[in-house]
Structure 1
Amino acid sequence: MIANEPKQIILLGYMGSGKSTVGKELAVLLEREFIDLDDYLEEREKASISQVIQEKGAIYFRKREHDCLKEVLEGDEKIVLALGGGTPCYYNNMKLISQSNEAISFYLRAAVPFLTNRLFDERAHRPLISRFEQQDDLAEFIGKHLLERSGFYNEATHNLSIENKTVNQIVAEIEDLL
């Protein structure tokens, strides 16, 4: 264990940046509970995020996401929390995270080409990008999204490039910063 470690370690970044994978490994290393906010919300709603959005709309989904984030941040457990890719961008969620005295956040950053290559073969499992048939179209979509979201992502306590690093290297880098 690390002296004076924060109660919550929060991982954020674009889809495909490895938030859940890194988070699970970090939680094991630090002997903490791992929470994926998307999974947490799905458990609360008893439906997949795709179903929630389809049945109740994106605004409802983002509001519930905010409520779930607040609920998790108000908990007493020491956790590693992986946010959804869009979570930091809505309902002042980054402000909520930044103002917490018990949280430290890490932006797992990657460039558009890296994310495009990583996500292209995963399209079928990711509703937001499932419609893209061409890598160039996906790259354009990711580029626009990153441009819109980067201001929020860059509010994280730490900004880490994840490109060409193993999960263990990223975990060790986070551990060194704690």
Structure 2
Amino acid sequence: MEPLFLVGYMGCGKSTLGRKLARRLGVPFADTDALVERREGASVADVFRYEGEACFRRIEREVLEETVGAGEAAVVSTGGGLPVWGDNMAYMNRAGRTVYLRRTAEQIARRLSPYGRQKRPRLRGLGDGELVDFMTRDMASREPFYAQAALTVECGACTDDEIVERILTFLRECEVR
């Protein structure tokens, strides 16, 4: 099995679903944000704040390349902005399978805990109405990149188990081709 990359906006469920998929597939799970944090010894928010977004994106790409370079099957949850930066989306499409977990801004806002909002640098300090407006605009700018994924899953009306099954079916269909 090639690596499976989960892409989508922050808070859409990439890490939660990624862990479930990895368990079902019997492969390791990797989260690019967690790998950046481990490498830097600092939170994503702190890397953003003190080193800047360009530095964070460079480190994020290095972590992505190391994950692919390991040559192992894995489920990889990517940061929400990773597919938008440079040629990352094309790189992931060449290296493995990509799945876009699509949710609306309203759906994601309902999913985010206060901690989830605080730990995401771009969402800090936004009120509820501002949050949905910001995410709607930001998601629209990212959509062309996310839409390059081999599979798009509309997650809004689905349970986690239904989403996992849809992705597993997709992977089985890819193996047959």
Aligned to 2:84: 89
2:122 partner amino acid: L
Aligned to 1:132: 126
- Which whole-Å CA distance do the structure 1 matches of 2:49 and 2:8 have between them? 24
The offset of 1:120, in angstroms, is: 6.3
Residues 66 and 91 in structure 1, CA contact (< 8 A), matched pair in contact too: no
1:90 partner amino acid: W
The offset of 1:68, in angstroms, is: 0.9
- Which whole-Å CA distance do the structure 2 matches of 1:25 and 1:105 have between them? 16
Return structure 1 stretches of 4+ with deviation > 3 angstroms: none
Residues 40 and 68 in structure 1, CA contact (< 8 A), matched pair in contact too: yes
The offset of 1:164, in angstroms, is: 2.3
- Which whole-Å CA distance do the structure 2 matches of 1:173 and 1:99 have between them? 22
Aligned to 1:3: none
Secondary structure, counterpart of 1:99 in structure 2:
helix
Does structure 1 residue 163 correspond to structure 2 residue 177? Answer: no
Aligned to 1:146: 139
- Which whole-Å CA distance do the structure 2 matches of 1:125 and 1:47 have between them? 12
Does structure 1 residue 73 correspond to structure 2 residue 46? Answer: no
TM-score (norm 1): 0.91
1:26 partner amino acid: L
The offset of 1:48, in angstroms, is: 1.0
**Structure with the larger helix share:** 2
- Which whole-Å CA distance do the structure 1 matches of 2:144 and 2:113 have between them? 25
Deviations 1:99-145 (A, max 9, x none): 22xx1010000112212222364423333212112x22111100111
Q: Note closer, same or farther for the CA distance 1:125–1:55 as it changes in structure 2 (3 Å cut).
A: closer
- Which whole-Å CA distance do the structure 2 matches of 1:120 and 1:144 have between them? 21
Identity level (%): 32
Structure 1, unaligned stretches of length 5 or more? 1-5
- Which whole-Å CA distance do the structure 2 matches of 1:120 and 1:112 have between them? 14
Q: What is the RMSD computed on CA atoms of the aligned residues?
A: 1.3
What is the aligned counterpart of 1:62 among 57, 60, 65? 57
- Which whole-Å CA distance do the structure 2 matches of 1:156 and 1:177 have between them? 12
Residues 37 and 83 in structure 1, CA contact (< 8 A), matched pair in contact too: yes
TM-score (norm 2): 0.91
- Which whole-Å CA distance do the structure 2 matches of 1:75 and 1:63 have between them? 19
